[in-house]
Amino acid sequence: MLSFEKAPPLAAPLRFFLTAPLFIVLAGLLIAYEGPALFSSRWMPGTLAATHLLTIGFMLQVMLGALIQILPVVAGANLARPLMLAAVVHPGLSLGALLLAGGFYFAQPVLLSAAALLLGLSVVCYLAASSWSLLRVPSTSPTIRGLKLAWLGLTGVVGLGVVLALGLAHGWSLPLVALTDLHAGWGLGAWAGVLLASISYVVVPMFQLTSGYPARPSWWFPVVMLGLLLLWSLAVFADWPGLVRLTQGLAAVVGIGFAGLTLRLQSQRRRARSDATHRYWQLGLLSSIVALSMLLIAALWPGAAELEGWPLFVGILLIAGGFIAFIIGMLYKIVPFLAWMHLQSSGQAKVPAPAMNKILGDRDMHRQMLAYVAACGLLLAAVLLPEWLARPAGLAFALAGGWLWWNLFGAARRYRLHLDVIAAKLATP
């Protein structure tokens, strides 16, 4: 049961949504500036900087902003002061992502240390404020239990990230490769993956008119994924490489299972016409299945990960083609829906709100989606032909990110215009 009357002011999540696409633009421009060198290894300074501009600047930014909206509406977890929480966390995340990218790119220990401190404090502040509300809500649905477990995933990925950033800044003796892989596993599996699945249980049936997810897998997916990440962590600290590969392979299988189940539900949906959200989800699901299959192959045959370009293919497919595609697809539903809902409330049942496609049109979203798909294709091709395609791929990615920002900004601007019209009509006797 959704509680839309508990929704916080639109300004709380909107500042995250309008800032996040700018980090895609920055990452694209960095790729274009660095050119072929960025595609030579996942350990290049530019590659690390671009990756964190996307994972923190875009992904984490949108996820935490959306949760300010989702927690009270979906889980009944009311945040005490959502606007104040957003005002504290939003600048911390934005500046922290920039400092971290700068620290990697310029190899500056002071920037890495400052980023670790700022991002750690921002996430701790967010967790403290939201956990107080979330933990008091009983786990009566897979979504609520998944959200609680995703909090543990966020704690794990941020904790490991802070240790890695400080370790690099101060020259600590750490098993960097193993911890970096584990950090990525917690980030994409236990945090983003569990959160995506938990929210999907609600938004896929609601926005895409599919049947509901089967109950048993829905309850167990977050638990199994988190359990595998805990086992993976134990294997890393105990130096058991066989168990590391086993847990990596099983996590990939579980992820493929969730993506396959969602594809099956979408193939049986009741709406015949596809919109941008559905197409973005199709891109994300197919791209994730390919990436996770590559991870599974690498777990079974470790030599595959040593093949030239293999890690970059996996990273582009999973982050750009997978998670970012899911998030953009959801933004294209959430932003016009929230704007419509707040306009409906402002009209006080006297002035009707405009239709959602008057706030953000499908043609604008579809054209931006085509640009994004082309950019992802160019990024993948640039792994094979970096001398020819690295810079065009970066520019195309920046263009797609800028276009996303323009669409969302336009929706926010039209929301303000409709709000003024409604206020004027209500004031007219």
Local confidence pLDDT in tens for the 429 residues of the chain: 566 667 788 999 999 999 999 999 999 999 999 999 999 999 999 999 999 999 999 999 999 999 998 888 888 888 888 999 999 999 999 999 999 999 999 999 999 999 999 999 999 999 999 888 888 888 889 999 999 999 999 999 999 999 999 999 999 999 999 999 999 999 999 999 999 999 999 999 988 889 999 999 999 999 999 999 999 999 999 999 999 999 999 999 999 999 999 999 998 887 777 889 999 999 999 999 999 999 999 999 999 988 989 999 999 999 999 999 999 999 999 999 989 988 988 888 788 888 888 999 999 999 999 999 999 999 999 999 999 999 999 999 999 999 999 999 999 999 999 999 999 888 887
- The pLDDT score that the predictor gives to residue 349 is 78
Listed residue (289, 139, 154) closest to 219, CA to CA = 139
Length of the chain: 429
Alpha helices per DSSP H over 35-71: 45-52, 61-70
- What is the pLDDT, as a whole number, of residue 275? 87
CB-based contacts of 25, cutoff 8 Å, min separation 6: 398, 401, 402, 405
Using the 8-state DSSP alphabet, how is residue 135 labeled? T
How far apart are alpha carbons 12 and 90 in whole angstroms?
9
Q: What is the DSSP string of 181-243?
A: HHHHHIIIIIIIIHHHHHHHHHHHHHHH-PPPPPHHHHHHHHHHHHHHHHHHHHHHHHT-HHH
The predicted pLDDT at position 98 comes to: 98
Q: How many angstroms from the chain centroid is the CA of residue 250?
A: 22
C-alpha span between 279 and 269 (Å, rounded): 13
Overall pTM > 0.75 = yes
